[in-house]
Chain A
Amino acid sequence: MDREFGQQLIDHLQAGIILLDQEGRVLAWNAWMVRHSRLTFSEVVTRRLDEVFPEMQHTRLQDAIEQALRFRLSSMLAPGLNAAVLPLDHQPGDRRLARRMQPLIYVTPMRHAQYTCLIQIQDMTAMVRRERRLRAQSTQLIATTYRDALTGVGNRRRLDHDLAAIFGDAQNKQHSLALLMIDIDDFKAYNDCLGHPKGDECLILVATALQEGLRQRGDCVSRYGGEEFALPLPETDRDLACSIAERLRLLVEGLGLPHPASRVGQLITVSIGVSAMVPVGEQSPSDLIGQADQALYQAKDEGRNRCVYFGADPHAVPLCPHPLGPIAVSSSRR
């Protein structure tokens, strides 16, 4: 292949082509390079690439060229790891806007007396941008699929996901995890009495209060279904879980939402079932849910607006009387 044809060929390529000699000086610079660097061949020929682009000193690109010249080793530089290493334009006007091309660069040694290193540059800017946009969209979509449409807290999928992760972690590290099942007392009566729109409003207020109450710990409450919420707690033993449950119970009561049809009092209240375990053997997240559910039923049976842990003595003597009637049983009994 003659020299002129070779030049034509590299000028037609839709990629940057640079050829260097043994000293790292530019011997060839194709039309793509001229277009994107705005430097002509005569401006760069016989100059070292790190003179042409002083900012590439101490970068991986310089290392890669050094490796090709000295050791005859090839390298590739990905855009994700070497953002905009060279001052190249993706499109005209980029320089004015201080924008740069995101390149994918290949550096390979050549077996030739003069041309000893080939650099190929591909413009990945559009792809990187597309990738970023898709990622932003997928992040948003993922967030949506994990959120309960009405209340804005996690949904059942979120709970299953979180609980599985926390359970697995507790199993591996052999530490305790806990689960709270939170149910609004006499919610059906509330709905029947005030109508569904009011019922929805109440769910939103309670869910928000629960989530806000947990903000410091970073735990995520999820709607389990209907008027029931669930809260998985990593690295939490029964005592801590009970005190969190009690705090949340008081928080909901403290909202002061009137409940004209409640059998408990005049306000919206919740009952909370608590279970905690260090998972062993064949135990699974559903065991923890089952236990929390059982504790929740016990709390309901014992008169609602209270926290009960799984395995608590039924009808145990309450320790602290509650101003609004029924009493927080097991959680405060420590």
Chain B
Amino acid sequence: MFQLNELQYDALRELFNLGVGRAARSLSLMVQDAVELSTPVVTLVKPADVATTLLGSEFRQLSLVMIDFTGPFDAQAILLFPERNALAIISHMLDPDMSPEELSEFEQEAMCEIGNIILNACISALADEFAVEFQGGLPMHYFSDTDSLPLLDLGGDRIVLLLQIHLTMRQERIQGHLIFLLSVSSLAILRECVDAYLTRVGVI
């Protein structure tokens, strides 16, 4: 299977950390309260293993926001939270007094926007640092359970860049995953971009 070396992992962690930092600033500004996003843990897995990785955690019912990005490499970016946590995030952002049960119509739009902010921030950080351009579509929001994750239907020539992040807001800590679904050829280009970045910053 396609691999990244330690240096490449470090670079990606650093780049996504930049993006996540931007997202945290935007979110904090929006809710006028401190939103913290942890440094992501980056791993590379097969699509079929995503479910195993997630099944091992508390995830059952999931809330997903997806955005398609095209550019030097194409990626389907997915932000994934357990549904219960997603509701907690939304109720905190919309109105701290609102109970999760009361959320309905607002929730999809708000979830979409939060996913939009986090995913765009990550992609724009990559675009900045790699000095490339991506075209990003509008976000879409779905609910799903781990058994019917749309990822699982995909063929074997795809690879998943999995980022685990924690979102902390008003004492609530929420675990989420950022998933970047790439084809093998896209991953090869991503790797080239990472190497070019490492050369530019003088590491290799």
* Interface residues of A, Cβ cutoff 8 Å to B: 58, 60, 63, 67, 70-82, 104, 106, 108-109, 111, 127, 131, 135, 138-139
Contact = CB atoms under 8 A, between A and B. Distances in A.
Q: Which among B67, B104, B110, B116 has the highest number of chain A CB atoms within 10 Å?
A: B116
A129 B112 CA distance: 20
Interface residues of B, number: 31
A81 B93 contact: yes
A73 B109 contact: no
B120 interface: yes
Contacts of A139: 102
Interface in B136-190: 136-139
B30 A131 contact: no
Interchain residue pairs A-B with the least CB separation, the first 7? A78-B109, A73-B136, A80-B106, A71-B124, A78-B113, A74-B138, A73-B120
B120 A67 contact: yes
A63 B113 CA distance: 13
A128 to B, nearest CB: 8
Interface stretch (B3-11, B127-135, B191-199): B127-135
B29 interface: yes
Interface of B: 26, 29-31, 67, 93-94, 98, 102, 104-106, 109-110, 112-114, 116-117, 120, 123-124, 127-128, 133-139
A67 B122 CA distance: 12
6 contacts: A70-B124, A73-B136, A76-B116, A79-B106, A127-B105, A135-B98
B112 A78 contact: yes
Nearest to A134: B104
Given A71-B120, A71-B124, 12 more contacts: A58-B29, A60-B117, A71-B128, A74-B120, A74-B138, A74-B139, A76-B112, A76-B139, A78-B110, A79-B106, A79-B109, A109-B135
Contacts of A135: 98, 102
Contact of B124 (A67, A77, A109, A138): A67
B135 A72 contact: yes
Given A60-B30, A82-B30, A139-B102, A75 B116 contact: yes
A108 B138 CA distance: 7
Given A71-B127, A73-B123, A131-B104, A80 B110 contact: yes
A74 B113 CA distance: 11
Contacts of B93: 80-81
A78 B106 contact: yes
Contacts of B117: 60, 75
B59 to A, nearest CB: 18
Nearest to B126: A71
Given A80-B109, A81-B113, A71 B30 contact: no
B120 A75 contact: yes
Contacts of B139: 74, 76
Nearest to B106: A80
B113 A73 contact: no
B110 A72 contact: no
Nearest to A107: B138
Nearest to A75: B116
B136 A72 contact: yes
B144 to A, nearest CB: 20
Contacts of B135: 72-73, 109, 111
A106 B139 CA distance: 10
A60 B117 CA distance: 9
Most chain B beta-carbon neighbours within 10 Å: one of A67, A70, A80: A80
B100 to A, nearest CB: 13
A77 B116 CA distance: 9
A137 to B, nearest CB: 11
Contacts of A138: 102
A70 B104 CA distance: 34
Given A78-B113, A81-B110, A73 B102 contact: no
Contacts of B116: 74-76
A66 to B, nearest CB: 10
Contacts of B136: 71-74, 109
A49 to B, nearest CB: 19
A246 to B, nearest CB: 34
A110 to B, nearest CB: 10
Contacts of A111: 135
A71 B123 contact: yes
A139 B102 CA distance: 8
A73 B134 CA distance: 7
Contact of A81 (B30, B120, B133, B137): B30
B72 to A, nearest CB: 12
